[in-house]
Amino acid sequence: MGAILKIIAQRLVLGGVTLLVVSLVIFLAVNALPGDFAEAILGQGATPEAIEAIRRDLGLDRPLWERYLVWLARMLQGDLGVSFAQLNFQSNLGGTQLKTVAEQIAPRFANTIFLAGVTAAIAVPVSLMLGVLAALYRGSIFDRAANIFTLTSISSPEFFLAYILILFLAVLNPVFPSLSNIYEGMSFFDRLERTMLPALTLTLVVTAHMMRMTRAAIINLLASPYIEMARLKGLSPMRVIVVHALPNALAPIINVIALNLAYLITGVVVVEVVFVYPGIGQLFVDSVKIRDIPVVQACCLIFAGAYILLNLTADILSILSNPRLRHPK
């Protein structure tokens, strides 16, 4: 048990260091974008004096290293700051209550988590089932058809799959609404209905990875001695795969599932834009357009944190599912 806790502690420290390095990369990349908030808000006809005044008010005239240290110190205290758009709005309409970046992101992030949860609830069981069946009937028509379908879906751009689903499930056959206009106070089933099309789009994208990894991991184990012994005992092929092969193939399957779950949070930008889904991806795109640096940095940091956390979770679950890692010599 002590060895496991030591490994987990090492992974957590490594994750923290990685997130710190990523925060520096995010800050430098965001500030390297052409233009800034002052130019985006004032437009091409703005005078240099007006642009400089807004930059001074927002602290954009300070040295880059100083701005990073201030942002990092606030971030470590849980303060993501206030968006530039909010500050500009307050300056135009005095007395307006400002929302912090965290308050802006919280409901959007909750919507993205809901979308990722619905997608995972569909994609993970379907992928495992297809992978097990493809391994069971390896080389059959079903195996080839499943591989062709999943490879086609993963090779197609997300926006293309989204528009195909809109055409067939919203226009020609109005089963689901084409726009995911979710708002606070909606019932669970209404929210679920308006989330189905983006969830199905993401399911088509992530199913191939998980299905093919499940198939490959199980097939890799079918030549093992204990599998041969189970077959000699007269167990059915399905029981051999589900009871004996699948539990020992969990480590690589868990890793690929975790990576795809990370994608469901960090890679939903295109899907959210197509369906006008009010998630963190849509907020990120809107903020980039107006160079709202605090919001862009916070969104990028959340994406990076979610990806690192899910990778750490995958590592820990892989250790727990592998006796050789649980009891190192």
**Residue 288 CB coordination number (10 Å):** 18
What would the two tokens of residue 57 be? 């008010």
Residue written as tokens 């000699």? 232
Give dist(CA 160, CA 291) in Å, integer.
28
Closest CA to 30 of 71, 82, 77: 71
First to last CA, the chain: 13
pTM for the complete prediction?
A: 0.84
What's residue 36's pLDDT?
Answer: 66
Distance of CA 136 to the CA centre of its chain: 31
Report the b/e string of 96-125 with b at 16+ CB within 10 A. Answer: eeeebbeebbebbbebbebbbebbbebbbe
Sign of the Cα torsion 95, 100, 104, 110 reads negative
> Each residue's pLDDT tens digit in the chain (329 positions)?
566 777 778 888 888 888 889 889 988 888 887 766 666 666 666 667 777 777 777 677 788 888 888 888 888 888 877 777 766 555 554 555 667 888 888 889 999 999 999 999 999 999 988 988 888 888 889 889 988 888 888 888 888 988 999 999 988 888 888 888 888 888 888 899 999 999 999 998 888 888 888 888 888 887 788 888 888 888 888 888 888 787 777 778 888 888 888 888 877 888 988 998 998 988 888 888 877 888 888 888 888 888 888 888 877 777 776 666 556 55
What's residue 182's pLDDT?
Answer: 85
Length of the chain: 329
Domains and CATH numbers, the chain: 1-99+291-329 (no CATH), 110-289 (1.10.3720.10)
- Is residue 308 within 8 Å of 18, Cβ to Cβ? yes
